[in-house]
Structure 1
Amino acid sequence: MLSSTPGESCSTLSIRSMHSGLALEAEGRAGFSRRPHPERISTARLVLEPLSVNHAPSMVSVLAHPSLYVFTGGEAPSLDELQERYARQTVGHSADESQWWLNWILRHTATNESIGFVQATVQSGQSVQSRLVADIAWVISPAWQCKGCASEATTAMIEWLTLHEVDGETRWVEHAPRTPATLSVVEKSVL
């Protein structure tokens, strides 16, 4: 098992999974005929709530810490920016319907505090086979990092995807340095 050290970001790597099971629409459009919608998911310590614009006020402080942007760049969003982003994301798919988006806000059950998010962007793979590719990512507040929350949340999301016929072989795509904390999440959640 990989160890993580306090202060390391637990949110810097996306996982790419190759999935099969959902059919593309018969007319050949890029959209999906049976797109699942995020549902509330409960784990031992967390509740994954489907994203809504109403989550923006509680997430502003979660996303405010500069350490969250060390590897990915950017800066903390304002309340207005976050509301606009969430309004776009809650549509659930890209304009051309070639991707669909599943987003959850994480709440810790002991405090009911928002502590981060997990997300999956699903699209058709590049092959002729009817396989789907899901990019899975997470962000956890620095106050809650390295406590197993990212592993617990990503595992729950992957299990939910599997229950909704998004399952298959898993591989990684690196979007940031492989820190011990991030590798630990990958190891516990996927491998």
Structure 2
Amino acid sequence: PRAAAAEHADQLFAGLQDPALYRFIAEAPPTDVEALRARYTRLATRRSPDGRQAWLNWAIWSFAEEAYVGYVQATVEAGEADIAYVVFQDYWGRGYARKAVAEMMGLLREAHGVAGFRATVDTRNHRSRALLEALGFECVAIHADAEVIHGRSPTRPSIG
């Protein structure tokens, strides 16, 4: 993954317009490229306004596709990371999310001292649940239409 920046808005905007991406996440597509650019500019500070959280975001580049295929992100506080990821529908099932999330987790461990990971996933999103379980996450709670999964921090997440 490449650190997300304002200039990625142009490359990511079209992929983020796909309604299929929002079936399981409580967000709406960006209204326009400028709104997305403004969001990435805020996130590029890499810190929350109070400085307690690190906001880390990466765009996923595919050399094979010669295109951006999604993004991964982490909010880090006190050695714990809440992670999220989006891969554009045209690239589902090709291993991009698994590889990018595993790389992000390794980077967070090494560069940011993260010891624990959390992800929230809609219980109906079977692909995402399978991805997280393959990376060592386990379900710890189920809430209405979403569950919180905590990772065990495997020493070498498998990418395959």
Equivalent residue runs for 1:64-83 within 5 Å: 64-77=17-30, 78-83=32-37
1:101 aligns with 2:48: no
User: What residue in structure 2 maps to residue 186 of structure 1?
Assistant: 132
Point out the more displaced range, 141-150 or 159-168: 159-168
Q: What is the alpha-carbon root mean square deviation over aligned residues?
A: 1.6
Bigger Rg over Cα: 1
CA contact (8 A) 2:98 2:131 kept: yes
1:142 aligns with 2:89: yes
Q: Which has the higher strand share?
A: 2
User: What residue in structure 1 maps to residue 43 of structure 2?
Assistant: 89
Amino acid at match of 1:56: A
* 1:140-167 deviations in Å (ceiling 9; x for gaps): 0000112211111000101111221524
Q: Which has the higher helix share?
A: 2
1:177 aligns with 2:123: yes
Change (3 A) 1:56 1:63: same
> In percent, how many aligned pairs have the same letter?
28
Report the Cα offset of residue 178 of structure 1.
Answer: 4.9
TM-score by length of 2: 0.78
CA contact (8 A) 2:81 2:116 kept: no
| Distance in 2 of aligned mates of 1:59 and 1:180 | 24
1:118 aligns with 2:64: no
Amino acid at match of 1:76: P
1:51 aligns with 2:4: yes
User: What residue in structure 2 maps to residue 28 of structure 1?
Assistant: none
Length, aligned pairs only: 136
CA contact (8 A) 2:59 2:71 kept: yes
TM-score by length of 1: 0.66
Where does the alignment leave 5 or more consecutive residues of structure 2 unmatched?
138-160
Q: Secondary structure at the match of 2:74?
A: strand
* 1:48-96 deviations in Å (ceiling 9; x for gaps): 1111101000000110100111122332111011001001000111111
1:166 aligns with 2:78: no
User: What residue in structure 2 maps to residue 32 of structure 1?
Assistant: none
